[in-house]
Amino acid sequence: MELKLPIGIENYKDVAKDCYYVDKTMLIKEMIDLPLGSAVLFTRPRRFGKSLALSMLKTFFELGEDNGPYFDDKEISRSGEHYLSQLGSSPVIRMTMKDVRGATFDELLRRCKDVISAEYSRYASIVDGDALTEQEKDYFGSIVGGSADGVAFSSSLMKLSNFLFRFYGKRVVILLDEYDTPIESARGNGFFEQAIAFFQPFYSQALKGNDSLRLAAITGVLQVAKESLFSGLNNLLVNSITGHGFDRCFGFTEEEAADLLKYYGRDSEFAKVGDWYGGYRFGDE
């Protein structure tokens, strides 16, 4: 039976199970090979598989999940025991900022709080037991309920990683998708400085000097000036379309596109597809 094309599907499990998947699992190996506590910002055009890549990383690293079958026939499965042993090895925080926008800062902040509260709710069970103090449990509840103020929310990413590290005894993987959407919304609507005041500690506290962090991957279309959003975040590795490394991890190479067209019996369309979509170069690819 012919595999279907995963048009509009960004959940790795759904793609790996039922769809034609252009194998990008070696991104996992490249992330594991980075020094402990590394944070990588991937800037790529829209529709180049950034969200699917983060879903794949979450599926691989997510603690306690039996996700091995989703990688059995993938490239990462042939990379050796060192890499496969890290399947299901870390608590994962994943947030997407793609809908965090608004005409006013209050509207944007409300939507950001909803995203954060939802991720806290996913880990609500950690408030049972003695890993958190009573004060921390109250803080956790105020984030889930949305009653905490903006300052409390601006530290929430770092605090959740600390809570998870303490509860599970394992360093945390942080995955942030479309990090730049709220910043661009704020710039376009005239409250850029307010947004920076919130997001600078939100990102920086979690991604630098955080002993609970194992690794982080952040995706976006644009690189916001380091002096504003990422000031002091000198451990951030920026991998743009002109950078080297991770060259094959996003988008399709000519060979991958040719294989895909051949699978669907459209070999003769290769030149046309090249005219429509070709011309991008990431690093050396």
Give the tens place of pLDDT for each residue, 102-115: 999 999 999 999 99
> Considering only CA atoms, which of 151, 205, 189, 168 is closest in space to residue 89?
168
Q: In which band, very low, low, confident or very high, does the pLDDT at 13 lie, cut at 50, 70 and 90?
A: very high
pLDDT of residue 226: 60
pLDDT at 79 over 70: yes
pLDDT at 225 over 70: no
β-bridge partners, 70: none
Joined tokens for residue 276: 């429509």
pLDDT of residue 166: 96
Per the model's pLDDT, the better-predicted residue between 234 and 101 turns out to be: 101
Average pLDDT over residues 117-121: 98
pLDDT at 127 over 60: yes
pLDDT of residue 103: 97
pLDDT of residue 188: 94
The residues, any chain, with a CB within 8 Å of residue 279's CB and separated by 6 or more, are none
pLDDT of residue 231: 66
Q: Work out the mean pLDDT of the chain and round it to a whole number.
A: 92
Three-class SS state of 150: helix
pLDDT of residue 125: 95
pLDDT at 228 over 70: no
Average pLDDT over residues 133-138: 97
Phi first, then psi, for residue 40 (nearest 5°) are -115, 130
Average pLDDT over residues 70-97: 95
Q: Which of 26-35, 39-48, 224-233 has the highest mean pLDDT?
A: 26-35
Q: In which band, very low, low, confident or very high, does the pLDDT at 60 lie, cut at 50, 70 and 90?
A: very high
pLDDT of residue 129: 86
pLDDT of residue 104: 97
pLDDT of residue 222: 79
- Give me the percent of the chain exceeding a pLDDT of 70: 97
pLDDT at 168 over 90: yes
CA separation, residue 147 to residues 12, 40, 96, 110, 250 (Å) = 33, 32, 21, 11, 39
Average pLDDT over residues 240-250: 84
pLDDT at 193 over 70: yes
Query: Which alpha helices (DSSP H) does the chain contain, by range?
Result: 12-18, 26-32, 50-61, 81-84, 105-122, 134-145, 150-154, 156-168, 181-189, 192-207, 254-263, 270-277
Rounded Cα distance between 2 and 20, Å, is 9
C-beta of residue 233 within 8 angstroms of C-beta of residue 216: no
- Supply the pTM of this predicted model: 0.94
pLDDT at 227 over 60: no
Rounded Cα distance between 203 and 218, Å, is 10
Per the model's pLDDT, the better-predicted residue between 18 and 190 turns out to be: 190
> Considering only CA atoms, which of 106, 132, 92, 129 is closest in space to residue 217?
92
